[in-house]
Structure formats: C-alpha cells, structure tokens
Structure 1
C-alpha cells in the first residue's frame, strides 16, 4: 500500500446520557491510501456514519466525546481548533450525504450554492467562481450545465441533485472524499450512474474515498478494501475480493448471505425465501421452500383495465391549467388469489400513483378497478368502505405511518375497531395474536413507535394491515429503506404470511434483485405506462423491452471481479410525464413473446438505445 492519506487509530466515541457517557464506537482503526476506496460496511446503528462525522469533527462537542487519532497526511484532526477545521472541511476533506435535498438550500439557485463554496474556500471573485461552477457541473456530466446553474434544487431529479453535491464536494479538489450512503435513496439506474461517476472522478483526481454503505453489491463494485462494523466494533477488514470469497466472521457471512443476487432464481418458477445466517453463531438458517402455488385458472382477485391517473398543474389562461402530469396512463393487469405481481420502474414512472389509485387514496380519471368482481372506481367514500377492508397498504416509511403519540396496541387496534371487526374487550387479544404472527412479542403493545427499530416498525405496519383480514396488500417500497439482513427477514415474513393466509400482493419496488425473489409475475412501468409484463422468469431471463434491459443491466452485482468494469457514463434522466392539456396519448402496439409475456412495441424514441444494447456499447 502507498503512503496513507487518511488514517484512524484507536477511535472511541461516546454520547452523553442522562447519568453517564454511552460508548457507541470502540477502538476502530483503519487507513486509506491515495487513489484507494475503503468501504465502511454495516447496518443501521453499527457506528459507520458516526465514525465519519467524528472524523470531520461534526459531532456536538457538548454531547459527544471522541478519543484516539484521526490523521490526514500525518496531521491529527482531533487536536485542531475549530477555525483550523473549517479550513480542512471542503478543502482537504469533502463529504457527500445520502439525501441531497437536506444538504442543498432550496431557496438558492444551484450555481450560486456551488459558487459560494469557491468564494469561501478558494478566494475566487464571483464571476470567476461562476465560470468554475459551470466547468465543475460539466465535469460531473450535467447536461446543459449553464442552464442548470440558474435552476433551483427541486427542479432536478434525485440523481441530478446528487451530481450537484458531488460537484460541490470536488470544488476544492479534496484529498479525501467521504461518501455516506450516497446511492441508497436512488433508483438502480441512477445509482449505477453515480457509482460510475465517483470511480471516474477518483481516477482523474487520484483521491482517497471512504465509501459508507450497507449494500454489499455496491461494495463489490467500488471498494478496493472493506471494513465491516457491528455494534460500534470492527468485525473484519481486508481486500474486498478476499473478504467476499472467504469471510472469516459470522456477521460478515450473515451480511453476504442476505444480499439478493440477480440471476440466483434462474430455473425456478415461483418466489423463494432468503437464506439467512444467525449472526451470533455464523450457522446457516435453512430457508424453507415456498410451497404455495397460484392457480392460473382461478378468477382474478384484482382486475385493472385502462387505469388512468393525471394531476393537473395550476396556471394557464383563465385558470384552465398549465398542463397535466400523466402519472398512470391506461394500464392493464390482473392479480390472482395468492399471487404476487411486482410493479417496477424508476421514481416518477407512476408505480406508486397506480398503487394509490387502486387502493382509493388517489382519485383516478378513468379505467376500471375490480376487486372480487366488484367495481371500485366511482364509488362514494361510504360505498367503498367495506371493500377497503379487503385491501390494505404498507408504505415505505413505517415511522410516518404510525402516530408517534399512540401506543402500538392502540395503533393496531384502531382500524379493526373502526370497521367493527372486534369489540374493545376483544382488541387486546387480537393485537397480541397479530404481534406474534409478525415475529414480535405480545407485551410490545405497550410501547411507542420510537422504541422500535426500522425493521420492527415495518413489522408493526404489516400487523396492522393483517388486522383487517385483507385479500390484497399493496406494498409500496415496503423494504427499500431497510438494511440488507432486515430486508431479507421482512420479505421472508411476507412470504410466510402469503403461504399461511393466501394473501395477494401488489409489490411496488425499484429493487430488481428483491423483486426477482418475491414475484410470481412482473410488470415494468415507464412514464406511466406498462411496457412489459409477464412471468418472473420470462422478464428476468428474456427481457424484451430496451427499458427492462436497462433496469436489469444497472443492478449492482456482489462480485468484486466486476470492480474494474466500466459501464460508460449515462447522463439521461427519466423524461418528464408532464404533458400539455390537449395531449392525446398515442395508441400502443403489443406483441406476445410467450404465454403471458407481453411487451409494448418500442417507438422510434428507443431506436438508439436498441442499437446500443445490440452492439454492447453503454447506452
């Protein structure tokens, strides 16, 4: 290894409690050389993010205590004054956070925000800083960089906002870049673009990179070495290829075993539970096969025909509207009893709007939604109420779905009491049964939501949904925010419940590797339309639409051998679904590839991508 740029030695971090100090990081040590990427890996609560914040001296000194050494090219950052540290931050060490909108000022134009960094840290005049800002935006492959400088953060997609943050981080040519979960909240295609961009810029600048993540697929693609943390302690570290090939510690094996691997389901026809390893023992926990089958001749539980949902944009002449968002445009599909149909696509494709329109939370403008043969669209709130009991929704953020002031028992019992499914005397016993069904203890009913982990809170939301004895559950990105091993546990729970209760799922997700294990059938959405639909094996093993192939090619694979692979930098964003008020959607042609596998015939706008995919040149 070349001379270290950054080294941490004997790092100890504690936070002030009510009576004493509570240690959260214990004796952590690692080094990063110039041009090297070290991945700091672990689940939420492992101490990886707090380690990076301590290194940047961003923890509140009144409520935290940091000991040890943090050396940047031999200079101990823990001994510097706050004024000296302000010179280090931005100039020598830059940081990219998970959610760019919390780091960008929504009231300032993009160009002004990046130029502000250059004026403050490099002493540039305003005009010089603006010229350098345009160069930086072009360097991180922002199309029409000059125009983007005059826009506000909300006018760009999540991927573009993360590029702005990378441009800001590189403004002062730092020696160390700390990337804290920079792709966790992004769609798979945008994630691939950001990972590729960081790799290219690292090579150009010969930067050291500390990459913090819980996604082992991302680790395999970016990291030269990997450092695994668990409960604030170092578990294992070493070259990434060695660690993936022969992990020594049980917790590392548990993390790797829980990673959904695209292609692992080849040859299987139905869903499969995730294999798990008990972190305490390192011994495999055998995954029971999924034995339930879907009867292809059964009448559909849910029938969706021509579902159309549009949002009018205010403005225009005489208040007639400036345009409409065509969120869902004439989609068709069925779901049979006991079946999982996954609806996949990038943010903005309309999959969540489709789920909310089916459940009745968002009004649809046209089409038909039938549950057990009964038409739901157009019903009054009173008329749809008995049908709502049969359909329940699980959202991405369980904390936002639970009243923080209500005890869990009350939160689970409330919808059952509202619909008259149980009496107040029966409710506690029913709540206890539901908690145990989702793998929690009955006495947890007395707790508040903040006393549970993210995975436990999602189990609570599942328990509340089950209380209504539904036939259909719409799971909208229900596991996207969860750590890899917790995600595997929740998916296994959902499959257990499907097998036991005959549940049907509309599983909305952008995580293609999870969808592959969870689904019987898959529908791919792009700009409000379904462009391909079919059995899970057909979609994953024989994708026909260029957009489906783009999604699958962008999935990070937990194989360190791919680290040197270059995808080519792709600067495309998902096109806008906003259309003029007089827009008439074109008629689409479909072809049947195999029984049940249908694909929309790509229009001329896809011709370039089809050619690029055929020649193997990155699109």
Structure 2
C-alpha cells in the first residue's frame, strides 16, 4: 500500500454517563492511502460513526474522552488546538453525513451555504465564491446549477440534497473524505447515482475515502479494503474480495449471510427465509422449512379497483393557483388469503398513500376497496371501525408509533380492549402470549419503548398488530430502517406468522432484494400508477417496463468483482406528481406478458430508456 494519507492507531473513545466513563471504542487502528476507499462496516452501535466523529474531533470534549493517535499527512489531530482543527476540517478532511436535511441550513439558499465555506476556507470574495459554487454544483452533476443555487434545501429531493453536501465537502479539495452512511436514507436508484458520483470524484481528485455503512452490498461496490466492527472493536479487516470470499470471524459470516442478494430466488416459486448464522459461533441458526402452497384461496381477501387519491396544494399564502398531487391514480390489484403482494417504487411514487387509503386513514378520491367482498370506500368512521380490526398497519419507524410514556404491555393491550376482544383480566396473558409469538419474553411487558432495540421495537409493533387477529397487514417500509441482520430476522418472523396464521401482507418497500425474497406477487409503482404487476419470478426474471428495469439495475450487488464497473452517472429525479386543477390522466394501454403478468405500455417519455435497454447504449 502507498504511504497512508490518514491513519488511526489505538483509538479509544469513552463517554461520560451517570455511572462514570463508559468505553465505546476499543483499540481501533486503520490506514487509508491516497486514492483508496476503506469501508468501516457493522451494525448500529458497533462504533463506526463514533470512530469517524472522534477522528474529526466532533465529539463534545465535556462528555467524551479520546485516546490514541489520529494522523492526517503527518499531523496528530488529537494534539491540535480547536482553532487549528477548524482549519483542518473542510480544508484537509471533510465529511458527508447520513441525513443532508439536518446538515443544511433550511433558511439559507444552497448557493450561499456553499459560498460561505469557500469564503471561510479559501479567502474568496463573494463573487469568486459564487462562481466557484456554480462550478462545484456542475461538477457533482446537478442540472441547471445556477438556478439551483437560488433554491432552499426543502425544494430539492433527497438525492439532490446529498449532492449539495458532496459539493460542499469537496469545496476545498480535501485529502480525506469521510462518508458516514451517505446513502442509507435514499432510494435504490438515487443511492446508485451517489455511489457512482463519489467514485468518479475520488478518481478525479485522487482522494482517500473512509466509507461508513452497514450495507454489505454497498461495501462490495465501493471498497478496496474493509474493516468489520462489532461492539466497538475491529474484529476483522482485509481486502474486500478476500473478506467476502472467505470471512474468518463468525460475526462477519453472520453479516454476509443476512445480506439479501438479488437473483438468489431464481427458479423458486415461494418466498424464502434468510439462512441466518449465529454471530458468536458462526454456526447456522436453525430455521423452519418453507411450506408449499401458502396461498390458501383463489378468492381475493382484498380487491382494489380504480383507487385514486389526490391532495390539493395551494399556490401561495392566499391560496391562489396551485394544483393537485395525484398521489394514487387508478390502482387495480387483488390480494388473496395467505399471500404477499409487494408494492415497490421510489419515494414519492404513492406507495404509502396507497396503503393508507386502503386502510381508510386517508380519504379516497375515487375507486373501490373491498375487504371480503364488503365495500370500504365511502364508509363513515364509525361504519369502517369493524373492518379496521381486520386490517392492521406496521409503520417504518417503530419508535414514533409507540407512546414513549406507555408501558409496552399497555400499548399492545389498548387496541384489543378498545375493540373488546379481551377483558382487562384476560389482557396480561394475551399480551404475554403475543410477545412470545414474536420472539420476545412475556415479562418484557412492563418495560418502556426506549428499553428495546430497533429490531425489538419492530417486533413489538408486529405483536400489537397481531393482537387484533387481522386478516391483512400493511407493512409500510417496515424493515427499511433496520440493520441487515435484524432486517433478516424480522422478515423471517413475518414469514413464520404468515404460515401459522394465514396472514396476507401488502408489503410496501423500495428494497428490491428484500421484496424478491418476501413476495408472491409484485406491483411496481411510478408517479401514482402501477406500471407492471405479476408473479415475483416474472417481475424479477423477465421485467418489461423500463422503470422496472431501472430499479433492478440500480440494486447494489454484494459481489466485489463488480467494483470496477461503471454504471454511468444518471442525474434524473422522479418527476413531480403535482398536476393543474382539472387534469385527468390519459387512458393507459396494457398488455399481458404471461399469465398474471401485465405491463403498462410505456408512453413516449420512455422512448430513450427503451432504446438503451435494447441496445445497451445510453440514449
């Protein structure tokens, strides 16, 4: 390896708590050479982000203690004064954080924020800084850069906001770029764009990159070398190809076993559980075999026809102008008892609005929703209440959907008591039974939500939904925020419960690799409409719509052999679903590809992408 640009030796980090100092990072050492990418991987709480924040000296000195050495081009950063560190941050090393909206000032225009960095670190005049800002935005492939400079952060998508953060980080041409989970909150197509952009810019600047993530697919695509962290320690490190090919530590094998691999379900009809590995021993976790013929009936449990949801948006303070958000437009699908239909697409495509409208949480503008043959659209709140019991929802953020002041037992029992499914005397036993069913202990009922991990909290939300004895569960990005091994455990639990209880799932997600393992059928949404629907194997092995192909091609594959591949930078954003008042979408033409597999005939806006798919040459 070349002489390291950045090195960490014997890093120790501790935080002050009520009981004194608690060590959280133990004896971590690493080196990164110019032009190299080192990935720091592990699950939440493993110490990845603390390591990077300690290296940047961004931890509060009053409540943290840092030991060891952190060297950047021969300078020990831990020995510098705070004033000297301010000169290092931005100039010599820069950081991209996971959530750009919390890192950007919402009251300042984008151009002003980046120009401020240039004025502070490169001693530029205002005009020079603004001119350089426009060049930087063009460099990170932002279309109409001059126009974007005059916009505020909330006016751009998550992917564009992350590009702004990259431009800001690169403003002073740092030697080291630390990227802390920069793609975790992004859709798969936007994630692919950001990863490609970081690769290209790294090559242009010959930068060292420390890439922090828990996504092993991303690691395989970007990292030359990888360090695996567990409980604050570096448990394994080496060349990425070697680590993926022959992991030595049980924890590394456990992480890799839980990674959903696109294409692993080829030729399989039924959903399949993840083959998990015990992180302490490396031994396979015993799992239940998947039963055939989970779907119990050809008669639909849920029938959705022409479902439409629109929101009025006002143009200005006085309410003039504006239009309508066509969030859901003419959805048609069925879900049979014991079946999982996955609704996939990028943020803003209308997936969550569809789920909320089906449950009656959002008012439908038109169409029909029938549960066991009974029409739900148009029912009053009182009339729909008995049907709500049969349809439950699991939300993406379990902590936000649990009352932090309410004990878990009370939170699970409350809906059952409200619907008079159990008496107060029966409730504690029923709660304990539900907790056991989702893999927790009955005596946990007295705890509060903050006493559980993220994966446990999601299990609690599943237990609360099961308490209503539903026929249908709408899982809205229910595993998107979870670490890879926890995600695999929750999905295996959902499949177990489906077999035991005959549950039907409407599984809403943008994670195509998870959807492939979880689903019987898949519906792909774009701008409020379903553009392709069919059996899981048909969608993944014979995709017909250009948008489905785009989603599948963007999925990171956990194969280091693909690291040198270049996808080509794509700067497209999902188009706005806002339409003028009175707008009605054109009638769509459909064609049948195979039994149950239907695709919307693409309009003229897809011509270029169809030509690229046919020839392999970008249009």
Query: Structure 2 length normalisation: TM-score?
Result: 0.99
Runs of 4+ in 1 over 6 A off after TM superposition: none
**1:540-579 CA-partner distances (Å, limit 9, x unpaired):** 0000000000000000000000000000000000011010
Distance 1:328 1:468 in 2: 28
- Preserved contact between residue 292 and residue 499 of structure 1 (Cα < 8 Å): no
Distance 1:87 1:310 in 2: 50
Distance 2:423 2:38 in 1: 56
Distance 1:314 1:564 in 2: 47
Secondary structure of residue in 2 paired with 1:284: coil
| 1:449 matched to 2:458 | no
- In the TM superposition, residue 314 of structure 1 has moved relative to its aligned partner by 1.5
Distance 1:241 1:530 in 2: 39
Distance 2:130 2:292 in 1: 61
- In the TM superposition, residue 19 of structure 1 has moved relative to its aligned partner by 2.5
Distance 2:384 2:270 in 1: 33
After TM superposition, the structure 1 stretch with the greater mean CA deviation from structure 2, 597-606 or 279-288, is 279-288
Secondary structure of residue in 2 paired with 1:460: helix
Distance 2:12 2:338 in 1: 51
| 1:548 matched to 2:548 | yes
Secondary structure of residue in 2 paired with 1:461: helix
After TM superposition, the structure 1 stretch with the greater mean CA deviation from structure 2, 292-301 or 336-345, is 292-301
Secondary structure of residue in 1 paired with 2:162: helix
1:586 to 1:278, Cα distance in 2 relative to 1, 3 A: same
Distance 1:118 1:406 in 2: 49
**1:159-200 CA-partner distances (Å, limit 9, x unpaired):** 000000000000010000000000000000000000000000
1:67 to 1:542, Cα distance in 2 relative to 1, 3 A: same
Segments of structure 2 that go 5 or more residues without pairing to the other structure are: none
- Preserved contact between residue 304 and residue 334 of structure 2 (Cα < 8 Å): yes
| 1:176 matched to 2:176 | yes
2:62 — aligned with what? 62
1:317 to 1:114, Cα distance in 2 relative to 1, 3 A: closer
Secondary structure of residue in 2 paired with 1:186: coil
1:251 — aligned with what? 251
1:353 — aligned with what? 353
1:2 to 1:53, Cα distance in 2 relative to 1, 3 A: same
1:406 — aligned with what? 406
Q: How does 1:118-137 map to 2 (within 5 A)?
A: 118-137=118-137
- In the TM superposition, residue 298 of structure 1 has moved relative to its aligned partner by 2.2
- Preserved contact between residue 294 and residue 336 of structure 1 (Cα < 8 Å): no
- Preserved contact between residue 255 and residue 485 of structure 1 (Cα < 8 Å): yes
**1:115-136 CA-partner distances (Å, limit 9, x unpaired):** 1110111111111100000000
1:213 to 1:341, Cα distance in 2 relative to 1, 3 A: same
After TM superposition, the structure 1 stretch with the greater mean CA deviation from structure 2, 278-287 or 566-575, is 278-287
Q: What root-mean-square deviation, in Å, do the aligned CA atoms of Structure 1 and Structure 2 show?
A: 1.1
Segments of structure 1 that go 5 or more residues without pairing to the other structure are: none
1:581 — aligned with what? 581
Distance 2:575 2:380 in 1: 35
- In the TM superposition, residue 296 of structure 1 has moved relative to its aligned partner by 7.7
Distance 2:296 2:408 in 1: 39
Distance 2:92 2:257 in 1: 37
Distance 1:326 1:390 in 2: 28
Query: Structure 1 length normalisation: TM-score?
Result: 0.99
| 1:79 matched to 2:79 | yes
1:373 — aligned with what? 373
- In the TM superposition, residue 316 of structure 1 has moved relative to its aligned partner by 7.5
| 1:427 matched to 2:427 | yes
- Preserved contact between residue 312 and residue 321 of structure 1 (Cα < 8 Å): no
- In the TM superposition, residue 317 of structure 1 has moved relative to its aligned partner by 12
1:30 — aligned with what? 30
- Preserved contact between residue 13 and residue 67 of structure 1 (Cα < 8 Å): yes
Kindly tell me the number of residue pairs found equivalent between the two proteins.
619
Q: How does 1:224-373 map to 2 (within 5 A)?
A: 224-295=224-295, 298-315=298-315, 319=319, 322-373=322-373
- Preserved contact between residue 178 and residue 211 of structure 1 (Cα < 8 Å): yes
Distance 1:36 1:497 in 2: 45
1:115 — aligned with what? 115
| 1:487 matched to 2:487 | yes
2:599 — aligned with what? 599
1:44 — aligned with what? 44
- Preserved contact between residue 35 and residue 208 of structure 1 (Cα < 8 Å): yes
1:50 to 1:618, Cα distance in 2 relative to 1, 3 A: farther
